Amino acid sequence: MSASNISSLTIASQQINIYVGTFILIIGMIGEILNIIVFLSLRTFRQNSCAFYLIFMSFFNIGQLIFSLFPRIMTSGFVIDWTQTSLFYCKFKGYILQICSLTSFTCICLATIDQFMATCFNPRWQQWNNIKLARSLCIITASFWILHGIPYLVFYNIIEMPKTGQLTCTITNAIFQQYFIYFYVLILGLVLPISITVIFGLLAYRNIQQMAYRTIPLVRRELDKQLTVMSPFYIYICVSERFRKQLNYVLFKIHLNRWQRGNITLNQVIPKL
């Protein structure tokens, strides 16, 4: 392949990384922010433990987008890699990413387990479905992963590659590297969250199918159904008419009206000044 063709492919790859990556970043940020706005604006969600896990998860998903996708855009699209020039950033990026990703994984697992308990017929299981417990578990979860990430601050370093002479940010401890590959990536990042969400998701779905035969308030029943089948924001807004109505109500009935009332009040006050 000629040098001109290689150069053209490199430029094309950079453009794809810039535009596609930026699009995904913006769409992802908007989706997570709207999730937070909807859940925090409606009282039925604010006092629901499963919704609280999803709110908490959305904040950490935003952290993942900022510290994972944005640096990748800068590296692949603009050939700017801050991990090669700043030891602090090299260590901090790995540290904050593991906190965000593991807290997010834990929250989705807790939300799935929570919905299983909420939809159980046995009152003993239902008593674990409460907002106070959800808040405590989220604090414990974040605190645990913050402490768990301390080795990232120690073992991530900038080294020079022997063959190319290029600087790279990587783990410099062999034992911790094995832990990272086989336990963090494989177990904590794949096997555990997938297994827990699939198992308890199916159990919750089975409970939902049996709800029609139980004496449960209609609002509670519909909320449990909605949260049990909750998927990423854009997928859910496409398939759920109920969620679209909730989003419309929150954005236009609550926040837009509040903004308009605020502007009217401000305009009334300014002439008096």
Q: Give the model's pLDDT for residue 218.
A: 43
Residue 250, token pair as written in the block: 């929150």
Q: Which fold has domain 3-267?
A: Rhopdopsin 7-helix transmembrane proteins (1.20.1070)
Q: Give the model's pLDDT for residue 261.
A: 63
Q: What phi and psi, each to the nearest 5 degrees, are found at residue 215? A: -90, 90
Q: Give the model's pLDDT for residue 79.
A: 83
What percent of the chain is predicted at pLDDT more than 90?
37
Q: Give the model's pLDDT for residue 169.
A: 93
Q: Give the model's pLDDT for residue 130.
A: 87
Q: Domain residues of the chain, as ranges? A: 3-267
Q: Give the model's pLDDT for residue 219.
A: 44
Q: Give the model's pLDDT for residue 57.
A: 92
Model confidence over 207-249: pLDDT tens digits?
Answer: 877 765 554 554 454 555 455 545 765 555 655 566 667 777 7
Q: Give the model's pLDDT for residue 266.
A: 46
What's CA 198's distance to the chain center, in Å?
18
DSSP state of 82: G
Residue 116, token pair as written in the block: 């299983």
Residues of the chain with pLDDT under 70: 1-7, 211-230, 232-244, 255-273
In this prediction the pTM is 0.81
Model confidence over 61-98: pLDDT tens digits?
Answer: 999 999 998 998 888 888 888 998 999 999 999 999 99
Termini Cα distance of the chain: 72
